[in-house]
Amino acid sequence: MRALLKGLNERVEAGEPIPRLLLYIDRPLTDTATALIPTGSETRFLSRNRLQTDWRLWNAQIRDDRPDLVVGTQNYLPHGSPMPAVLVLHDAMGIKKYEWDRHTPRTLKERFINRYWHYQTLASVRKSRRIITVSQGARSEILSVLTDIPQSQVTVVHNGVALPAPQYTGPRDANTVLCIASPDRRKNLSLLYDALANHRPRFGTKSLTLRVIGTSDVMTRRTKAMLERYNLSAQLLTGLDDQALSNEYARAGVFVWPSHQEGFGLPPLEMMRTGGAVVSSNAPCMPEILGEVPRYFSPDSAVGIADATRPFLEDTELCRQRGEMGRDHAATFTCRRMADETVAVWEKAARET
């Protein structure tokens, strides 16, 4: 959403028209987020209570506002909305079973949440005039499940990179491996821990510093427990705003992305935007989005992740070359292009009957 708003602002600055926006939010906006809201737009704060918002407040507000088009930006739409709608479906994870996830143990709460999002996504698809997704890989996965909808209904709009340029201009730490911890099991970070704990010689002879970005305090506690389980030490980074995150990308020697499945996979592209080396799993859609810049490995192979990372740790010229390639490649994923293509889908959906 941040990239889309940035792109819409760029349209305004260039004198291009944009639709009048009503933004329905479930928490107060930060000053940084408020600055992204295009001039003339309005916000409607509903509730932090997800069920109350989904099943009552959001739809009631829509009935009051009577917008020409409702856009669900995070895989679902309000329950029972009578207005024409566009759904942004980032991936097929909520509606498709994957082998890597088939035997994952879940609590009763997690099972309920999974079934809830499965229902909400399918219900939202049925009432959408158009579906936007973020990669050709995600589109193929979605259409493999939603076989009863016309393929022409699903349009690919790649995300833009909205992270600010790094303020850090010093040298990269060639021995630093950077990664992001997430509560989402598909991010597969335990593969990197396994590789470092059980296949350390395959990374080469240099001493390594593992830096882990925690997305929340809860995730930081889980990360500490995981590191203890694998008998690993790491520098944990928490509470990073966008600028601090960009600076971390600019400092790191190598960014590792071991995900099982993605719709787009923004963090490695953000690393590439700073000119850094990326090692990524070859999961669907990563080669589509990242191109030939990273070194790839199977998301099932701890040995593979070590072997893919080692050349970057040992060859500074390879890092420099891939960094330049990555910067040029990531620069094509602009927020303005994302906004232009998204507005085109909105306008088409609004005209349909």
Count how many domains the chain has.
2
Same domain, yes or no: 100 and 6: yes
Does residue 346 fall inside a structural domain? yes
- CA-closest candidate to residue 242, choices 48, 31, 72, 25: 31
Residues 232, 117: Cα–Cα separation, whole Å: 35
Q: Are 50 and 119 within one domain? A: yes
Q: Which residue has the higher pLDDT, 32 or 348?
A: 348
In the DSSP assignment, the letter for residue 71 is E
Tell me: do 134 and 178 sit in the same domain. no
CATH number of the domain that 12 lies in? 3.40.50.2000
Cα distances (angstroms) measured from residue 97 to each of 101, 134, 144, 265: 7, 19, 11, 19
Mean pLDDT of 307-318: 96
pLDDT at 154: 97
Whether the per-residue pLDDT at 353 is higher than 70: the answer is no
For residue 294, give the amino acid letter.
Answer: P
Predicted confidence (pLDDT) per residue in 85-99, tens digit: 999 999 999 899 888
Report the range of poorest mean pLDDT among 21-35, 132-146, 152-166.
Answer: 21-35
**Domain limits at 344?**
2-160+334-351
> Residue 115 pLDDT more than 80?
yes
Q: How far apart are CA 306 and CA 220, in angstroms?
A: 24
Confidence of residue 209 (pLDDT cuts 50, 70, 90): very high
Q: Same domain, yes or no, for 244 and 274?
A: yes
| pTM reported for the whole predicted model | 0.93
Handedness of CA 24, 30, 34, 35 (dihedral sign): negative
Based on the fold, state whether residues 60 and 118 are members of the same structural domain: yes
Q: What is the mean pLDDT of residues 274-283?
A: 97
Q: To which H or E segment does residue 254 belong?
A: strand 252-257
Mean pLDDT of 185-214: 94
Model confidence at 274, pLDDT cuts 50, 70, 90, reads very high
Q: What span, in angstroms and rounded, lies between the C-alpha atoms of 80 and 167?
A: 46
Tell me, yes or no, whether 320 and 339 share the same domain: no
Question: Per-residue pLDDT averaged across 61-78, rounded?
Answer: 92
Q: Is the predicted pLDDT of residue 51 greater than 90, yes or no?
A: no
Task: Specify the DSSP element, H or E, that contains 197.
Answer: helix 190-198
| Domain contains 165 | no
- Using 50, 70 and 90 to split pLDDT, how confident is the model at 102? confident
> Greater confidence, 33 or 312?
312
Residue 36: its pLDDT value, please?
A: 87
> Quick one: 269 and 317 in the same domain?
yes
Instruction: Single out the residue of 334, 320, 315, 242 nearest to residue 275, CA to CA.
Output: 320
